[in-house]
Amino acid sequence: MGREVPFKANKVCDECGKSGAFDFMGDYICSACLDGEEERERARARRCDCGAMAVWDYAPADADRVFCEDCVPRGCSCHTMSGEDHPVDEKGRELPCVEYWFCENGVPPVPQVE
């Protein structure tokens, strides 16, 4: 069961300034901007060294390494502790180590600390 997001006809969208927006706990977004949110996430995503959108983020806190689907190191002994075969993705490629996090819409930018 999901939470219903209330629509406020008298509120202005924070993104584009149009009247009529959904109230996301004080953030107001119109339906047109909601429809394009996935594209905006992808546009803001970090880039792999090859220039492609990074979708794999190496998780250890002291590392700042991101990779696209083609550049991520694949295969790892973490997957096969019990002697099973390496798990593969839908394209038959070995999965990366469990220390890599997958971000379907791209690895988000690092927040700037002020």
pLDDT in tens, 12-24: 888 778 888 888 8
The reply to whether 69 and 98 lie within a common domain is yes
Domain for residue 1, yes or no?
no
The reply to whether 20 and 52 lie within a common domain is no
Q: Judge whether 99 and 58 are in contact, CB under 8 Å.
A: yes
pLDDT of residue 1: 47
Closest CA to 105 of 13, 61, 42, 48: 42
The reply to whether 71 and 110 lie within a common domain is yes
Distance CA 28, CA 5 (A): 10
pLDDT of 2 > 60? The answer is: no
Range of the domain at 91: 41-114
The reply to whether 59 and 92 lie within a common domain is yes
Q: Judge whether 20 and 9 are in contact, CB under 8 Å.
A: yes
The reply to whether 30 and 74 lie within a common domain is no
Run of H or E residues at 22: strand 19-24
- Residue range 31-80, pLDDT digits in tens: 877 776 666 666 677 889 998 888 999 887 666 789 999 999 998 877 56
Domain for residue 2, yes or no?
no
CB-CB neighbours of 109 under 10 Å: 9
pLDDT of 85 > 80? The answer is: no
pLDDT of 90 > 60? The answer is: yes
Specify the pTM: 0.57
